[in-house]
Amino acid sequence: MFSEKIQIGLKKQLNRELESSQLYLSMASWVECKHESLEGISNFLYDHSDEERKHMLKLIRYINKRGGYADAFMEKTIIENVSYNSLKELFQKLFEHEKIISEEINSLVELSLQERDYFTYNFLQWYVEEQIEEEALTKMILSKIKLVEKDKAGLYLFDRDIKNFHLNRE
Ligand SMILES: [Fe+2]
Ligand SMILES: [Fe+2]
């Protein structure tokens, strides 16, 4: 049984993934513009934005496969005037954002159990795993940024190494 409640929850989530994708895109563009020498960081953020778009697609395809219709796309996702005082602030925001997404995934898992929709419960496990990885990764990046923020040589190395920090889950 693919209930209305579950469909609404999943549609909300696909919009959250789209929102994450747009947010990381805006962050990537900010870094590329304001810190042009740090292309490792901007590339990482552009890639992360693509990943979030894939998370959205996965939800759309699932909803449609179950006989629903993924028709609810973002009402307003115009992210503009993005500005950060520091890279630390940017990555802090990214980490906080991922924690909010994790809470939303957890609520959806809870809803799938209430509705006894075990297909959706099973589908959502991929997102649960994903959030464990993403929270750990963004927390690690944040702590490294705090370490090197005011050290140009350290930042240079961090920018070089960030391309190796991947989630790589399909
Ligand atoms: Fe995501
Ligand atoms: Fe994410």
What separation in Å is there between the alpha carbon of 110 and the centre of ligand 1?
18
Query: Is residue 149 scored above 80 in pLDDT?
Result: yes
Q: How far apart are CA 101 and CA 16, in angstroms?
A: 7
The confidence score (pLDDT) of residue 74 equals 64
pTM of the model as a whole: 0.91
What separation in Å is there between the alpha carbon of 156 and the centre of ligand 2?
25
Question: Of the bound ligands, which one is closest to the alpha carbon of residue 55?
Answer: 1
Specify the CATH number of the domain 4-164.
1.20.1260.10
- Cα 114 to the chain's mean position, in Å? 26
Q: How far apart are CA 25 and CA 113, in angstroms?
A: 34
Whether 89 and 15 have beta carbons less than 8 Å apart is answered as no
What separation in Å is there between the alpha carbon of 27 and the centre of ligand 1?
16
Q: Residue ranges per domain, the chain? A: 4-164
**Tens digits of per-residue pLDDT, 32-50?**
999 999 999 999 999 999 9
What separation in Å is there between the alpha carbon of 58 and the centre of ligand 1?
10
Average pLDDT over every residue of 54-75 = 90
Q: Tell me the two tokens of residue 40.
A: 């490792």
Give the whole-number percent of the chain exceeding pLDDT 90. 86
